[in-house]
Structure 1
Amino acid sequence: MAPSPSSWICDGVPKNGKTYPNASGAHPPYENFGPDCAVCGLPREAMEPASSGSANGSKKSRLTLVAVALGVALLLMGGLGFLSYRLLLTNRENNPPSLPGGSTRGSQLVSKTTPRNAAYISQGERILISEPNPQRVALKQEAALAFDQGDWAQAIAKYQELVALDPNDPESRIYLNNARARQAGNPMTMAAVVPIGTSPDTAKEVLRGVAQYQEQFNASAPHRLLEVVIVNENSPNGVTSLAEDLINSSIQGVLGHGTDANSRAALQVYEQAGIAALSPLTTNVIPQGNGRVQVQTLPLNEKGKQLLNTYLDNAAQTLAEAIAKKVPNAKVALFYNSDSPYSNELKNKLTALLPQLGAQVVQPMDVATGFNANTAMTAARQAAANAVVLAFSRARVNEAVALAIANQTQTPPLQFFGSDQLYGPDLLIKGDSAINGMILAVPWSTNPNDPFAQQAAQAWRGQISWRTTTAYDATHALAQAMAKGGDRASTQQLLRQGVQIQGQTASGTFNRVPLVQAAPGPNGPKGANYQFNPLSGI
């Protein structure tokens, strides 16, 4: 296939007579869209014949320096200041500076500019979430190849077929939307960073919210369509390396990351680079009345810890009150995992709150220091526990299921309570009847009469989670700021000021923490006999 006018072919062997000690060497011909080869690292000039002569090369270098100097002067006069100048030097033209309207000189895919993390980033040119169905695997490979080659009509047709085969697949839906956006030209681009490697179900829940708003936004005939870069945060190079690669691309804003130390480090990278990032540690949702909310990003060091503590305070309060009402004179076996700051903090808050409500913690147990579910439940009963709280991080769903199964074999079984981190398909599918009646505190829960929940359930052929809803709202706010701002700096400024949207998240994610309870029903995830129902009256 002949390369497109803006691309160039590299085989790893310099043609200009120069040596490049940092390049990795010869490789099969590869089509590139950025200034350096995504495979070996050679610059584009290495593929140009040496016949141009040193005088011409010197003249070209001088012209390049003049152009860069002029560009820096224009950036400074345009009010972007020292940060833009520093980024220009850092990127070495790997990330073309934004032009008016937020477009860039090239439209290369983000993964083409980052050899180290290319396998963890996709706009549609590779599949990141594993697919168990062989028919869909082959079709996805065909769709990704068409996208990678810029054959938008073919990519659209293939991804349309995939969405029809599995309406619950958010990755294919996002790539379909992206192919349409690229076909239309000059899309505005955001990134969604999700834990595909460690928690694919959680990643899908977030991506469903992103895809749903992306589709809605693009159907509204905006000046520029919205494109979403999906990023698997579990790169072996580290999450900060992913953040650095996103900075060196055309994205205007980022959604995702969690509350752990690595996420904090990545968020600091975005903040220093002037990129808006919506995450639990940087985002405040303020009710405005009449169903509207203001979504506002806050500096990480200034407000991030406060936001997390506010949420954990309310989650702990909700759980403690539910325990006191559901189990009079509660004696609690409190399970946690000390390798998670989230779990540690929730455990500490519950330990302080429960005695204030007439309950007490009789058996704190750390599953990170050696764990056997049957032994742990026996110890809980020997301590006279009549309730169990699972203050786990999301990586400990298997331990939660094991404890629930061990509890089921004992008479009478104890009432289980848990944190939002357990809310997901794995608990319902793996736990089955053992988790019947378990109560969780989550930032949002579906209501059968909620129009948004009905619309989302129809779109995704099943009940959605709070992660889907909060991701929908976050994408809504980010897309509105991107469309109005047009570039990174303006997008960040608008979100710092606050963007008002018709919010679907229940009045302030950090201000109210509803309860849900596991119960038999047909509305759970595929393969589950149980579902989460909203719980009131406790």
Structure 2
Amino acid sequence: MTKMTNFSRKIRKYPILAKWLFLIILILSFSSWIYLIFNPQLLINIFSQNWCKDFELNDNLSCGEESLFTKNKFPLFQQGNFKKAVDFFTEQRLNNQNNPEILIYLNNAKLMQQGKKSYTIAIVIPINQDARGIAEALLRGAAQFQEDFNKDPKNPGLKILVVNDENKPDTVDKLAEHLLSKNDVIAVIGHYTSEVTKAALPVYQKNKVVVIAPATAARKSLFSGKKVLPNFLFRTIPSVKLQIPKLIEQLQLSQLAIKEKVAVFYNPNSTFSQSAFEEFRNQLGASKIIEQDISISKFMPRKILNEVKQQGAKALILIPDGKVNHYSFKNTLNLIDVNEDQLPMAGYSTLYDETILYKQNVKKLLIVVPWHPLSSPNKEMIQRAKQLWGTANIGVQTGISYDATLVLTKALEKVSISDSLPNQRLAIQQQLNNIKQVTGGASGTISFDNDGDMIENTSQIVRVIPTKCAISGAIFVPMNYDLTKLDCQQMIKNSKINK
């Protein structure tokens, strides 16, 4: 009390000092607010309840205000009525258990209702007519991990922003800029195709934001032409350099003599397809390759098939791009039809598609995929996926996006949730460079080399086998898989393949 009295006397004794103190406090307060205005990421950390509330509609980004698949709007979420939004999404999920977008929005709404401190990541997927199934499958992996991660009270919250890049390399850079302008996204999972990832990568590099690519398999040298340091691209999928030798080995073991020629059908304008073609050429030798463009509009499959046979082709290698080109995949399907199982066929995971299962002449088709649920070492993850989605058809893309989300959250363990956004982003990149390995993935253990590429070769060779376990009458299974282990009842329940 005596100290306060003495201080009051000093203030009365020195009125000029009091005025200066007041002025200094006023200036400091004003400066602080000016700093926050020009550094909005700090405001987001303080006022977390504003997250996603004022998002635009129809901008290919959604945290719960609209569906990017159906274009339906969800006004309860957009208006910030998160309690009712939780009830709404819960009911929607009861009616559509296999919908990953709804589950993500439900978990986002729960976190907003709880007001829990959370990290925000984005997953960028190709939602268009051709790649819709791929987009849904990628979402399932991230949604499954988010669901289980948020249920653990020891973890901070994990919010997921869903983004649609439309599988368009020409516009993805602007989309990436728009995404990062939200000032709360600490890292990105995506994209699906190598060419879209390549087009978006400079934006992430410039903003020092980590992007974990679950499906980008092209050689990294094709992304920039030179090494970019520090690296912000990490891949949770074996590159073509790891996958293609395994495919060639299986093809030569079963159907192709070592010295025989092959016809390689690919898109020379696709980052991925070009990369895969070059790996085949490196492995087999240029003299054994008959090169064909699968992406042209006036592709005549029967004529071209006869030509490559006359040139000595004893097998067909099919490498369409990831449905970026309008003709590439369709031309491949037509080529499969006219081949009528005469020549052995081998292809990449872009052929792991439901339309292949309805084809009659695919007995000699081998496909290399980065991972397959039937041979996954993580049986617990597979069982959880069956329970969560109500189907035994757990697709390839689901597993690899699950792994990407897992790796990202491992990096978050040593990132301060109260730190500034730029510091959080840099810390993630540093942690990923330092992490020796991550266990518990759908594919098992995941580790990176100095370039951010996955070290483990988890790829599998699959074939198409006829079965009553699916409406299509066929399913993809790994080579030498014991067919008596198939869970037919769950497969029939929802036989649409979740790629």
Q: Would you call these one fold, judging by a TM-score over 0.5?
A: yes
How many equivalent residue pairs?
417
Q: How does 1:218-237 map to 2 (within 5 A)?
A: 218-234=150-166
Q: Which runs of 5+ in 1 are unaligned?
A: 1-60, 72-91, 132-139, 284-298
Q: Do structure 1's residue 418 and structure 2's residue 418 form an aligned pair? A: no
Task: Tell me the distance in 2 between the aligned counterparts of 1:226 and 1:473.
Answer: 15
| 1:346 counterpart SS class | helix
Aligned to 1:382: 310
One of 40, 55, 69 as aligned partner of 1:129: 69
| 2:393 counterpart SS class | coil
Q: Deviations over 1:319-357 (max 9, x none)?
A: 22122112242432211111212111211221232259x
Q: Is the 8 A contact 1:111 1:121 kept in 2?
A: no
| 1:433 counterpart SS class | coil
Per the TM alignment, residue 463 of structure 1 is displaced from its structure 2 partner at its CA by 1.9
Per the TM alignment, residue 163 of structure 1 is displaced from its structure 2 partner at its CA by 1.8
Q: Is the 8 A contact 2:54 2:78 kept in 1?
A: no
Q: Is the 8 A contact 2:167 2:193 kept in 1?
A: no
Q: 1:202 to 1:465 in 2, by over 3 A?
A: same
Per the TM alignment, residue 313 of structure 1 is displaced from its structure 2 partner at its CA by 1.6
Aligned to 2:270: 340
Task: Tell me the distance in 2 between the aligned counterparts of 1:240 and 1:474.
Answer: 21
Q: 1:507 to 1:355 in 2, by over 3 A?
A: farther
Per the TM alignment, residue 145 of structure 1 is displaced from its structure 2 partner at its CA by 2.0
Q: How does 1:309-458 map to 2 (within 5 A)?
A: 311-329=239-257, 330-355=260-285, 360-361=288-289, 363-369=290-296, 370-395=298-323, 396-408=328-340, 413-428=342-357, 431-447=358-374, 450-458=379-387
Task: Tell me the distance in 2 between the aligned counterparts of 1:447 and 1:536.
Answer: 11
Task: Tell me the distance in 2 between the aligned counterparts of 1:397 and 1:282.
Answer: 18
Q: Do structure 1's residue 245 and structure 2's residue 245 form an aligned pair? A: no
Aligned to 2:3: none
Aligned to 2:76: 146
Q: 1:235 to 1:260 in 2, by over 3 A?
A: closer
Q: How does 1:262-273 map to 2 (within 5 A)?
A: 262-273=196-207
| 1:365 counterpart SS class | strand
Structure 1 stretch 263-272 or stretch 468-477: which is displaced more?
A: 263-272
One of 397, 403, 407 as aligned partner of 1:467: 397
Q: Is the 8 A contact 2:318 2:347 kept in 1?
A: yes
Q: How does 1:70-89 map to 2 (within 5 A)?
A: none
Q: Is the 8 A contact 1:281 1:300 kept in 2?
A: no
Q: 1:443 to 1:501 in 2, by over 3 A?
A: same
Amino acid at match of 1:391: I
Task: Tell me the distance in 2 between the aligned counterparts of 1:281 and 1:206.
Answer: 9
Q: Which runs of 5+ in 2 are unaligned?
A: 1-25, 218-226, 418-423, 447-453, 482-499
Q: Is the 8 A contact 2:213 2:234 kept in 1?
A: no
Q: 1:305 to 1:390 in 2, by over 3 A?
A: farther
Structure 1 stretch 309-318 or stretch 364-373: which is displaced more?
A: 309-318
Q: Is the 8 A contact 1:519 1:533 kept in 2?
A: yes
Q: 1:302 to 1:521 in 2, by over 3 A?
A: farther
Task: Tell me the distance in 2 between the aligned counterparts of 1:442 and 1:476.
Answer: 20
One of 457, 465, 480 as aligned partner of 1:519: 465
Task: Tell me the distance in 2 between the aligned counterparts of 1:456 and 1:522.
Answer: 22
One of 473, 476, 489 as aligned partner of 1:529: 473
One of 100, 108, 127 as aligned partner of 1:196: 127
Task: Tell me the distance in 1 between the aligned counterparts of 2:342 and 2:89.
Answer: 47
TM-score (norm 2): 0.74
Q: Deviations over 1:417-470 (max 9, x none)?
A: 101222233433xx4323344211111112268332233233221322232112
Task: Tell me the distance in 2 between the aligned counterparts of 1:182 and 1:308.
Answer: 30
Q: Do structure 1's residue 180 and structure 2's residue 110 form an aligned pair? A: yes
Q: Is the 8 A contact 1:437 1:519 kept in 2?
A: no
Q: 1:523 to 1:68 in 2, by over 3 A?
A: farther
Identity of aligned residues (%): 26
Per the TM alignment, residue 223 of structure 1 is displaced from its structure 2 partner at its CA by 5.0
Per the TM alignment, residue 507 of structure 1 is displaced from its structure 2 partner at its CA by 4.7
Q: 1:405 to 1:261 in 2, by over 3 A?
A: closer
Q: 1:119 to 1:308 in 2, by over 3 A?
A: closer
Q: Deviations over 1:473-509 (max 9, x none)?
A: 2112222433541233333332232273422214555
Task: Tell me the distance in 2 between the aligned counterparts of 1:328 and 1:279.
Answer: 33
Amino acid at match of 2:141: G
Aligned to 2:489: none
Q: Is the 8 A contact 2:194 2:216 kept in 1?
A: no
Q: Is the 8 A contact 1:209 1:468 kept in 2?
A: yes
Q: 1:111 to 1:181 in 2, by over 3 A?
A: closer
Aligned to 2:407: 477
TM-score (norm 1): 0.69
Q: Is the 8 A contact 1:189 1:227 kept in 2?
A: yes
Amino acid at match of 1:502: G
Task: Tell me the distance in 2 between the aligned counterparts of 1:378 and 1:308.
Answer: 39
Task: Tell me the distance in 2 between the aligned counterparts of 1:516 and 1:148.
Answer: 44
Task: Tell me the distance in 2 between the aligned counterparts of 1:440 and 1:157.
Answer: 43
Aligned to 2:450: none
| 2:188 counterpart SS class | strand
Task: Tell me the distance in 1 between the aligned counterparts of 2:235 and 2:83.
Answer: 44
Aligned to 1:213: 145
